[in-house]
Amino acid sequence: MTADRFHLGWFGAFVPHGWNQPFEGTEASHREWLDGTFHVDLARALDRACFDVLLLEDSSMVSDTYGGTSEATLARGVWAPKGDPLALAPLLTEATEHLGISVTASTSFYPPYVLARAFSTLDHLSGGRAGWNVVTSSEDRAAQNFGLDGLPQHDERYERAEEFIDLVDRLWSSWEPDALVMDRETGVYVDHEKVHPVHFEGRYHRSRGPLNTLPAPQGRPLVSQAGGSPKGRDLAARTADLVMALPKGVPAMKAYRDDIRARAEAFGRDPDDVKVMFIVSPVLGATEAEAAERFERRRQAVRDDPTGQLIGWSGSMEIDFSRFDLDEPLPADARTNGHQSTLETFRTWAGDRTLRQAVEAYRTEAVELVGTPDSVADQMGAIAEEVGGDGFMLWSQPPTRQYVTEVCDGLVPALQRRGLVRTGFSSTQLRDNLLEF
């Protein structure tokens, strides 16, 4: 028995590529991330390899949580520098034919009307390949860049987000599909009776509407979300078309997908309309020995510098991990108003291990995949068969052209030979492609 076909996505960011890696490129290439050249090359490779979507994360701050200073963050380029992915997106869609581009934008900082208009416009520019990756943001430092003292509490952020998405959906629907008439005899461009104010009055948001753009090609640009906490899972199951997930291990992956599908059904949705894709970062080699050696080098890098991961987490959780003893367990009283699911996942993973041991063993992926393209393809097929999953979201930090090539010219053909992923597209629109199987 073989797995059904599954989808492929890429999780990236508008950040520098691997500037200090063995195959980093020429010195001149380091300007290419800011002018979009590197990311255009990435998008073209993914398009050629029949990926469904490139999802671009984002944040709006320079973190100074770790050690009470931005020194470590900036030295490693963890949270900055970073470009605005919404500005990058049109370059990527212009350079590709089928690849969807999902851009992160925060419900805590964007006005709903501005967001609805921007993503509707991007959907037009791309011919129906735009997606909005919903986040509520998790950092007070980001909030302070928008004139706020800090973010609301975790659960309230999700309540605001639900209302925000409801309003955006109403704005996207404020024009009937056939409102554009272009009647040359009467001189009427748009039928005003088919454009409607929304008169939205919520607890957190208000808007008269209607939107002042034509209906988006997809009607509703694809909505993606990464929900880990109970509130986050509810938001994803209620509103998202694509859910990006990071449970640890195959049993947890299956349990997560089953839970999202059950929640979606409880909200009156068809569970098959909610695609769950798991984050992975395959380690590939021409031989099993080469892949194992690469994997061991990656583990050794963490052993040599266990603080690297903690610097990133300090920013997302706003917990100063520098104050904890690496040779003691994570203190039980460590709490966050930020990424709660990340903290709880790590706490469960760590158990009684010291912080150093736990960080060395931890992986920012749902399941470890190590081997040749053929053996990793077999592993992915077996996992999809057991989980019943909808696909995988590949991730590399920092990204390099070498790794992109290994995936697109090595792993993907191996998956295609097994009939596990698509070899072409039946539609030019992102949602249609995601719902095809």
Of 312, 393, 370, 299, give the one whose Cα is nearest residue 346: 312
Cα atoms found within 13 Å of the Cα of residue 317, Cβ hemisphere only: 22
What would the pLDDT profile of 298-310 be if each residue is shown by its tens digit? 889 888 888 888 8
What would the pLDDT profile of 81-110 be if each residue is shown by its tens digit? 999 999 999 999 999 999 999 999 999 999
Q: How far is 431 from 436, CA to CA, in rounded Å?
A: 8
Helix (H) or strand (E) holding 106, with range, is: strand 100-106
Query: How many C-beta atoms surround the C-beta of residue 107 within 10 A?
Result: 25
pLDDT band at 286, cuts 50/70/90? very high
Residue 25 reports pLDDT greater than 80: no
Burial 24-37, CB ≥16 within 10 A → b, else e: bbeeeeeebbeebe
DSSP states along 378-408: HHHHHHHHHHT--EEEEE-SS--HHHHHHII
Q: Are 354 and 327 in contact (CB under 8 A)?
A: yes
Q: Given this model, what pLDDT does residue 1 score?
A: 38
Measured CA to CA in angstroms, residue 58 lies from 81, 107, 357, 425 at distances of: 11, 12, 29, 28
Of 335, 306, 305, give the one whose Cα is nearest residue 320: 335
DSSP states along 24-55: ---GGGGGTTTTTHHHHHHHHHHHHTT-SEEE
Distance of CA 199 to the CA centre of its chain: 32
Q: Can you tell me which residue has the tokens 């419900």?
A: 107
What would the pLDDT profile of 380-394 be if each residue is shown by its tens digit? 999 999 998 799 999
Cα angle: 239, vertex 280, 109; to 5 degrees: 40
pLDDT band at 336, cuts 50/70/90? confident
Q: How far is 214 from 169, CA to CA, in rounded Å?
A: 14
Q: Domain segments of the chain: what residues?
A: 7-172+211-281+368-434, 290-361
Distance of CA 337 to the CA centre of its chain: 20
Helices within 127-199 (DSSP H only): 140-143, 154-172
What is the overall mean pLDDT for the chain? 93
Torsion of CA 8, 11, 12, 18, to 10 degrees: -80
Mean pLDDT of 195-199: 98
Of 13, 10, 141, give the one whose Cα is nearest residue 83: 13
Q: Given this model, what pLDDT does residue 91 score?
A: 98
Homologous superfamily (CATH) of 7-172+211-281+368-434 is Luciferase-like domain (3.20.20.30)
Mean pLDDT of 200-221: 98
What would the pLDDT profile of 255-268 be if each residue is shown by its tens digit? 999 999 999 999 99
Of 258, 298, 280, give the one whose Cα is nearest residue 377: 280
Torsion of CA 343, 258, 227, 222, to 10 degrees: 150
Residue 317 reports pLDDT greater than 90: no
Query: How many C-beta atoms surround the C-beta of residue 52 within 10 A?
Result: 30
Helix (H, G, I), strand (E, B) or coil at 132: strand
Cα angle: 92, vertex 93, 99; to 5 degrees: 100
Q: Given this model, what pLDDT does residue 28 score?
A: 59
Residue 281 reports pLDDT greater than 80: yes
Indicate if the alpha-carbon torsion angle 299, 302, 303, 306 is positive or negative: negative
